[in-house]
Amino acid sequence: MFSTRRVRIFDTTLRDGEQAPGIDLTIDQKVRIARQLQRLGVDTIEAGFPASSEGEFIATKKIIEEVGDSVEVTGLARANKNDIDKGIEAGLSSIHVFIATSDVHLKYKLKMTREQVIDRIYESVRYAKSHGLIVEYSPEDATRTEEEFLLQAVKTAVEAGADRINIPDTVGVMHPFKFQEVIRKVVSVASGRIISVHCHNDFGLATANSIAGVVGGARQVHVTVNGIGERAGNASLEEVVMALKKLLDYEVGVKPWLLYDTSKLVSELTGVPVPFFKAVVGDNAFGHEAGIHVHGVIENPLTYEPMSPEEVGNFRRLALGKHSGIHGLRKILEDQGIYLDDEKLKVVLSEVKKMADTGHRVSAEDAKRIASRFLSS
Ligand code: KIV
Ligand code: ZN
């Protein structure tokens, strides 16, 4: 039985993440990432969109063979029999069915009426259920859908037997205060089904909106590793997981100490670098240069770190520059086996700062080279 504090993590790196321009993974690369996601402990892996290409079909099949015994593997399908059949043929026992519900999508993309969309939701969810699949239904562009119609779409999917309902903020137009309310309303008509959220980052709010959705009653979040995805990306797995665990005390199955390695693997295989300042997994997420901060961290990391780098598999990096102080310099030198008294350290520090003032990025080796002058004297 699911605890009321347990939040499922639905990873869509291999589907929505891979939809980003320039990211085209080979089948083997997708399988490698799926294995890592399984080790990481996500609850569902969205392996791809089996009806979209032969490669996606084979990759989905292989991912099910590799990890399907220990983690739920799902695939995306438009709300039609052909897509659902392709998923079944690939071996899926769980399917993510979507059809848009906003007027702008109905008019310009689907060219369908609301009645036709409601019929499609019912028929497709029922069809997938009749094949014994776990079914998650997404009303695409939910957050730009007229509220009454959105709730009708949700109720229809529930009546047709959907196991979970996912609410996508497809173009990232929500803010946390509003999204929390939307989710509360959806929960109130969903007859106890798990409500999920899927947030895009167009205004930089994907993580905040995902958390707000959980506070509003959602018990599943769609995420991608490093937040990769369409346009500004999706909610980032590492940020959502750590915020849920550390700030709100929700239970999440992900093993946080594998986050950094997972991020590095996805970055390496997709060719998309992890931003230096990226929360949790960025190279500066636990970086300190300012003398006051470094001193604090050396005394007790809690002074300037809200979580420990070890907790997420990342590293603390003490840097040298014009804001450095003597404590940081001493630590960096002692880590390289160099022990100087305070007087000598002060001289080395002033040279480090002079170097930094010229725009040079001072490395630990630079400091060692400057300090080595004092070693024999
Ligand atoms: O952003 C979106 O609406 C999607 C759906 C297919 C769930 O990715
Ligand atoms: Zn999306």
Nearest ligand to the C-alpha of residue 170? 1
Q: How far apart are the first and last CA of the chain?
A: 69
Span 2-19, pLDDT tens digits: 679 999 999 999 999 999
Angstrom distance (rounded) from CA 329 to CA 204 = 36
Q: What ligand 1 atom has the least distance to the C-alpha of 16?
A: 8
The predicted pLDDT at position 374 comes to 82
Ramachandran assignment for 47, one of left (phi > 0), alpha (psi -120 to 50 degrees), beta (any other): alpha
Q: Give dist(CA 15, CA 63) in Å, integer.
A: 13
Chain centre to alpha carbon of residue 50: 22
Taking the centre of ligand 1 as the mean of its atom positions, its distance from the CA of residue 165, in whole angstroms, is 12
CA of 152 to the centre of ligand 1 (A): 19
* Tokens 């196991």 found at: 163
Q: What is the mean pLDDT of residues 141-149?
A: 98
How open is the CA angle 294-299-304, to the nearest 5 degrees?
50
Token pair belonging to 209: 């909106």
Nearest CA to ligand 1 atom 8: 16
Q: Which ligand is nearest to the CA of 98?
A: 1
3-state secondary structure the chain: CCCCCECEEEECHHHHHCCCCCCCCCHHHHHHHHHHHHHHCCCEEEEECCCCCHHHHHHHHHHHHHHCCCCEEEEEEECCHHHHHHHHHHCCCEEEEEEECCHHHHHHHHCCCHHHHHHHHHHHHHHHHHCCCEEEEEEECHHHCCHHHHHHHHHHHHHCCCCEEEEEECCCCCCHHHHHHHHHHHHHHCCCCEEEEEEECCCCCHHHHHHHHHHCCCCEEEEEHHHCCCCCCECEHHHHHHHHHHHCCCECCCCHHHHHHHHHHHHHHHCCCCCCCCCCCCCCCCEECCHHHHHHHHHCHHHCCCCCCHHHCCCCEECCCCCCCHHHHHHHHHCCCCCCCHHHHHHHHHHHHHHHHCCCCCCHHHHHHHHHCCCCC
1, pLDDT greater than 60 = no
How far does the centroid of ligand 1 lie from the alpha carbon of residue 331, in Å? Answer: 48
Among the bound ligands, name the one nearest to the CA of residue 141: 1
- Judge contact between 180 and 215, C-beta under 8 A: yes
Taking Cα atoms as reference points, which of 207, 287, 273, 275 lies closest to residue 242? Answer: 207
The letter for the amino acid at 166 is N
Residue of 76, 83, 98 to mutate, ligand 1, most atoms within 8 A of C-beta: 98
pLDDT for 192:
98
Pocket of ligand 1 (CB under 6 A): 16, 98, 138, 140, 168, 170, 198, 200
Q: What is the pTM of this model?
A: 0.96
Band of pLDDT at residue 39, cut at 50, 70 and 90: very high
340-364: average pLDDT: 95
Question: Could you give the domains of the chain?
Answer: 6-268 (3.20.20.70), 285-371 (4.10.430.20)
Residue type, 264: K
Task: For residue 230, report the distance from its CA to the centre of ligand 2, in Å.
Answer: 7
Q: Residue 170, by phi and psi: left (phi above 0), alpha (psi -120 to 50) or beta?
A: alpha
Neighbour count for residue 215 (Cβ, 10 Å): 15
Q: How much is the mean pLDDT over the chain? A: 97
pLDDT tens sequence across 274-295? 999 999 999 999 999 999 999 9
Q: Are 122 and 159 in contact (CB under 8 A)?
A: yes
Distance, CA 222 to ligand 1 centroid (Å)? 10
Look at residues 228, 189, 190, 235 and name the one whose alpha carbon lies nearest to residue 212.
235
350: β partners: none
Q: Partners of 45 in the beta sheet?
A: 11, 73
pLDDT digits (tens, 9 = 90+) for 78-122: 999 999 999 999 999 999 999 999 999 999 999 999 999 999 999
Cα(278)–Cα(286) distance, rounded to whole angstroms? 10
Tell which one of 14, 109, 170 to mutate to probe ligand 1, the residue whose CB is within 8 A of the most ligand atoms.
170
The pLDDT score that the predictor gives to residue 55 is 95
Please give the share of the chain, as a percent, with pLDDT higher than 90. Answer: 98
Residue 227 has pLDDT above 70, yes or no: yes
pLDDT at 317 (0 to 100): 95
Counting beta carbons within 10 angstroms of the beta carbon of residue 107, is it exposed (0 to 12), middle (13 to 18) or buried (19 or more)? Answer: exposed
